Amino acid sequence: MYSETVMDHFANPRNVGEIDHPDGVGEVGNPVCGDIMKIFLQIENDRIVDAKFKTFGCGAAIASSSMATELIKGKTLEEAWAVSNKAVAEALEGLPPIKMHCSVLAEEGIHKAINDYREKHGLEPWVETGHHHGEEPASEPNTQVPGSDTKKSEMNRGPIKGYETRSVSYQE
Protein backbone atom coordinates (compact mmCIF):
# COMPACT_ATOMS: atom_id res chain seq x y z
CA MET A 1 0.00 0.00 0.00
CA TYR A 2 2.79 2.47 0.88
CA SER A 3 6.07 2.87 -1.01
CA GLU A 4 9.41 2.08 0.63
CA THR A 5 10.14 5.81 0.67
CA VAL A 6 6.94 6.59 2.59
CA MET A 7 7.73 3.83 5.08
CA ASP A 8 11.31 5.09 5.48
CA HIS A 9 10.22 8.69 6.14
CA PHE A 10 7.60 7.43 8.59
CA ALA A 11 9.95 5.08 10.47
CA ASN A 12 12.96 7.42 10.26
CA PRO A 13 11.56 10.93 9.84
CA ARG A 14 14.04 13.67 8.99
CA ASN A 15 14.05 17.08 10.66
CA VAL A 16 11.70 16.28 13.56
CA GLY A 17 11.50 18.94 16.23
CA GLU A 18 11.40 22.69 16.65
CA ILE A 19 13.83 25.45 15.74
CA ASP A 20 14.70 27.80 18.60
CA HIS A 21 13.60 31.31 17.59
CA PRO A 22 12.27 30.32 14.13
CA ASP A 23 11.97 32.95 11.42
CA GLY A 24 8.70 31.45 10.22
CA VAL A 25 6.16 28.97 11.58
CA GLY A 26 3.25 27.41 9.74
CA GLU A 27 0.59 25.39 11.53
CA VAL A 28 -2.15 23.66 9.60
CA GLY A 29 -4.68 20.97 10.28
CA ASN A 30 -7.35 18.86 8.68
CA PRO A 31 -10.46 18.76 10.89
CA VAL A 32 -11.81 15.71 9.02
CA CYS A 33 -8.91 13.34 9.70
CA GLY A 34 -7.39 15.13 12.70
CA ASP A 35 -3.88 15.52 11.25
CA ILE A 36 -1.99 18.57 12.55
CA MET A 37 1.30 19.75 11.09
CA LYS A 38 3.63 22.51 12.28
CA ILE A 39 6.61 23.57 10.13
CA PHE A 40 9.45 25.73 11.45
CA LEU A 41 11.84 27.66 9.19
CA GLN A 42 15.21 29.31 9.69
CA ILE A 43 15.81 31.80 6.89
CA GLU A 44 18.94 33.72 5.92
CA ASN A 45 19.10 36.04 2.89
CA ASP A 46 15.71 34.78 1.65
CA ARG A 47 16.97 31.18 1.66
CA ILE A 48 15.74 28.38 3.93
CA VAL A 49 18.80 27.19 5.84
CA ASP A 50 16.91 24.85 8.17
CA ALA A 51 13.43 23.35 8.36
CA LYS A 52 11.90 21.19 11.07
CA PHE A 53 8.44 19.84 11.80
CA LYS A 54 6.14 18.45 14.45
CA THR A 55 3.20 16.43 13.21
CA PHE A 56 0.36 14.69 14.96
CA GLY A 57 -1.15 12.32 12.47
CA CYS A 58 -0.96 9.16 10.45
CA GLY A 59 2.14 7.67 8.83
CA ALA A 60 1.45 9.47 5.54
CA ALA A 61 1.23 12.84 7.35
CA ILE A 62 4.54 12.24 9.13
CA ALA A 63 6.21 11.06 5.90
CA SER A 64 4.83 14.09 4.01
CA SER A 65 6.15 16.47 6.67
CA SER A 66 9.55 14.80 6.63
CA MET A 67 9.83 14.89 2.84
CA ALA A 68 8.56 18.47 2.61
CA THR A 69 11.28 19.72 4.97
CA GLU A 70 13.89 17.83 2.95
CA LEU A 71 12.62 19.36 -0.30
CA ILE A 72 12.69 22.98 0.91
CA LYS A 73 16.02 23.07 2.74
CA GLY A 74 18.49 25.20 0.82
CA LYS A 75 15.83 26.69 -1.45
CA THR A 76 14.94 30.36 -1.83
CA LEU A 77 11.54 31.38 -0.49
CA GLU A 78 10.12 31.50 -4.03
CA GLU A 79 11.51 28.03 -4.82
CA ALA A 80 10.09 26.63 -1.58
CA TRP A 81 6.71 28.27 -2.26
CA ALA A 82 6.61 26.39 -5.57
CA VAL A 83 6.97 22.98 -3.87
CA SER A 84 3.52 21.52 -4.48
CA ASN A 85 1.64 18.73 -2.78
CA LYS A 86 2.17 16.78 -6.01
CA ALA A 87 5.96 17.26 -5.71
CA VAL A 88 5.86 15.97 -2.12
CA ALA A 89 3.78 12.92 -3.14
CA GLU A 90 6.06 12.20 -6.13
CA ALA A 91 9.19 12.46 -3.96
CA LEU A 92 7.58 9.89 -1.65
CA GLU A 93 7.04 7.65 -4.71
CA GLY A 94 3.30 8.09 -4.41
CA LEU A 95 0.58 8.24 -1.80
CA PRO A 96 -2.74 6.40 -1.88
CA PRO A 97 -5.52 8.71 -3.14
CA ILE A 98 -7.17 8.70 0.29
CA LYS A 99 -3.90 10.05 1.78
CA MET A 100 -3.16 12.83 -0.73
CA HIS A 101 -4.54 15.35 1.76
CA CYS A 102 -1.37 14.74 3.81
CA SER A 103 0.78 16.17 1.02
CA VAL A 104 -1.67 19.10 0.73
CA LEU A 105 -1.12 19.84 4.43
CA ALA A 106 2.64 19.85 3.84
CA GLU A 107 2.29 22.38 1.02
CA GLU A 108 -0.05 24.54 3.12
CA GLY A 109 2.34 24.35 6.09
CA ILE A 110 5.22 25.57 3.93
CA HIS A 111 3.07 28.44 2.65
CA LYS A 112 1.97 29.46 6.15
CA ALA A 113 5.56 29.39 7.45
CA ILE A 114 6.79 31.53 4.54
CA ASN A 115 3.95 34.00 5.03
CA ASP A 116 4.64 34.13 8.76
CA TYR A 117 8.22 35.15 7.92
CA ARG A 118 7.05 37.71 5.35
CA GLU A 119 4.53 39.29 7.72
CA LYS A 120 7.13 39.49 10.53
CA HIS A 121 9.31 41.46 8.11
CA GLY A 122 6.55 43.86 7.01
CA LEU A 123 6.07 42.20 3.61
CA GLU A 124 2.80 41.35 1.90
CA PRO A 125 1.87 37.69 2.41
CA TRP A 126 1.65 35.51 -0.67
CA VAL A 127 -1.79 33.95 -1.19
CA GLU A 128 -2.79 30.66 -2.68
CA THR A 129 -5.17 31.26 -5.53
CA GLY A 130 -6.98 27.97 -5.30
CA HIS A 131 -6.38 24.25 -5.49
CA HIS A 132 -6.23 21.47 -2.98
CA HIS A 133 -6.64 17.83 -2.42
CA GLY A 134 -4.53 16.41 -5.21
CA GLU A 135 -4.79 19.19 -7.77
CA GLU A 136 -1.87 21.18 -9.10
CA PRO A 137 -1.53 24.40 -7.10
CA ALA A 138 -2.25 27.76 -8.67
CA SER A 139 -0.28 29.88 -6.26
CA GLU A 140 2.31 32.47 -7.08
CA PRO A 141 4.48 34.60 -4.82
CA ASN A 142 3.41 38.05 -6.02
CA THR A 143 1.09 40.77 -4.87
CA GLN A 144 -1.57 40.56 -7.61
CA VAL A 145 -4.02 37.71 -8.02
CA PRO A 146 -3.43 36.42 -11.56
CA GLY A 147 -6.28 37.32 -13.95
CA SER A 148 -7.91 39.69 -11.48
CA ASP A 149 -7.89 43.28 -10.34
CA THR A 150 -7.78 42.06 -6.73
CA LYS A 151 -4.62 42.49 -4.73
CA LYS A 152 -3.77 39.44 -2.66
CA SER A 153 -3.74 41.59 0.46
CA GLU A 154 -7.47 42.23 -0.10
CA MET A 155 -8.33 38.51 -0.05
CA ASN A 156 -9.57 36.65 3.01
CA ARG A 157 -6.70 35.02 4.89
CA GLY A 158 -8.71 33.80 7.88
CA PRO A 159 -7.99 30.72 9.96
CA ILE A 160 -8.96 27.24 8.89
CA LYS A 161 -12.59 26.71 9.87
CA GLY A 162 -13.12 23.89 12.33
CA TYR A 163 -9.43 23.73 13.21
CA GLU A 164 -8.35 23.76 16.80
CA THR A 165 -4.71 24.03 17.90
CA ARG A 166 -3.45 21.10 19.94
CA SER A 167 -0.11 20.75 21.68
CA VAL A 168 0.78 17.26 20.52
CA SER A 169 3.58 16.04 18.29
CA TYR A 170 5.27 12.98 16.87
CA GLN A 171 8.00 11.71 19.15
CA GLU A 172 11.05 9.80 17.89
pLDDT at 82 over 70: yes
Active site residue 58: no
Q: Where are the domains of the chain?
A: 4-154
Among 70-79, 99-108, 112-121, 154-163, whose mean pLDDT is lowest?
154-163
- In the CATH scheme, what architecture does the domain 4-154 have? Alpha-Beta Complex (3.90)
CB 102 within 8 A of CB 108: no
pLDDT digits (tens, 9 = 90+) for 157-167: 333 333 333 33
Rg for the chain, CA atoms, rounded: 15
Which position among 7, 25, 33, 58 bears the catalytic label?
33
List the beta bridge partners of residue 53: 16, 39
Q: Which pLDDT score, from 0 to 100, does residue 96 have?
A: 95
Q: Give the separation between CA 31 and CA 95, rounded to whole angstroms.
A: 20
Active site residue 33: yes
